[in-house]
Amino acid sequence: MTRAPLPRYGSDPLEEGLSLTPLPDPPPEEGLVVERSPEGHLRVRRLGPGAPGALLVDHRSPESARRFSEGKKGLLGRATGIARGSRPVLWDATGGLGRDALQLARLGATVTLWERDPVVRALCREGLERVGEGEDELAQAARERVTVREGSAVEGMAEHLRSGASPPEVILLDPMFPERGSALPKLEAQMLAALCGEGGCPEEERALFEAAVALRPHRVVVKRPRHAPEIAGQPADQRFEGRSVRFDLYLPRTPSGA
């Protein structure tokens, strides 16, 4: 089931970045506020009683440390081919907060991240900008291998195809999925759902999948909750299953591929 995004206050998207605006007076009873924390970090907070904590992107969190510790032999490394020694040029077509993108860049990939929502993109950009503050060279080098692009990846992929430029080697898709079974930590999944809607839109998933396959990269990797149906009803060439998440691998260049 899909659910619409909540109304948001406190921000106007500009062509480059985001401009913060004051809350209406009196303040709304529900919705989302985009604001800066007392430490100056961009965050999104839910209004109303019982609202969960605020969403900001901190790649030094224990959750990020756990992801980074998976290394190349983790699910993401295996599904993208990095475990076999490649350092692919990769497009993350549904970039979100940039968690997968940074994990992949740490494993050696050069990542172009597409995010169409201006607030999510601003959170992602700031999270990436903070990487490296007081951290090792690996973290700084990884951050420099991630480029953030705005707009719809479906259009970006179609335009790339028309241009005749060589395709990325790997395309990762992680479309929104109804909260239950999401691979992101609970608060992040809840807040992303409140920002972008609860997802599970078959037409959007199909458009992403078809645009990715049309580019004929070596691999299209689709992240799904473990028991979710395959994207666009397309059987995967290979599956990499974890406890709550699954990566479906499609090989558009092999004769039996999608």
* Residues in touch with ligand SAM (CB under 6 A): 93-94, 96-100, 114-117, 120, 152-154, 174-176, 192, 196, 204, 208
Hunting for tokens 């990436």 — which residue is that? 128
Closest contact distance (angstroms) between CB of 125 and ligand SAM is 12
Task: Tell me how far apart the alpha carbons of residues 183 and 36 are, in angstroms, rounded to a whole number.
Answer: 27
- Shorter beta-carbon distance to ligand SAM: residue 90 or 256: 90
- Shorter beta-carbon distance to ligand SAM: residue 6 or 120: 120
Largest CA distance in the chain: 61
Task: Tell me how far apart the alpha carbons of residues 156 and 55 are, in angstroms, rounded to a whole number.
Answer: 27
Closest contact distance (angstroms) between CB of 213 and ligand SAM is 14
| Kind of pairing between the strands at 89-92 and 170-173 | parallel
- Shorter beta-carbon distance to ligand SAM: residue 195 or 236: 195
Closest contact distance (angstroms) between CB of 92 and ligand SAM is 7
Contacts of 103 (CB under 8 A, 6+ apart): 67, 68, 70, 76
Residue 29 neighbours by CB distance under 10 Å:
8
Closest contact distance (angstroms) between CB of 150 and ligand SAM is 9
The alpha carbon of 148 is separated from its chain's Cα centroid by a whole number of angstroms, namely 11
Indicate the residue whose CB is closest to ligand SAM: 96
Q: Residue 159: enclosing H or E segment and its boundaries? A: helix 153-163
Closest contact distance (angstroms) between CB of 156 and ligand SAM is 7
Six token digits for residue 201: 């839109």
- Shorter beta-carbon distance to ligand SAM: residue 80 or 94: 94
- Shorter beta-carbon distance to ligand SAM: residue 35 or 92: 92
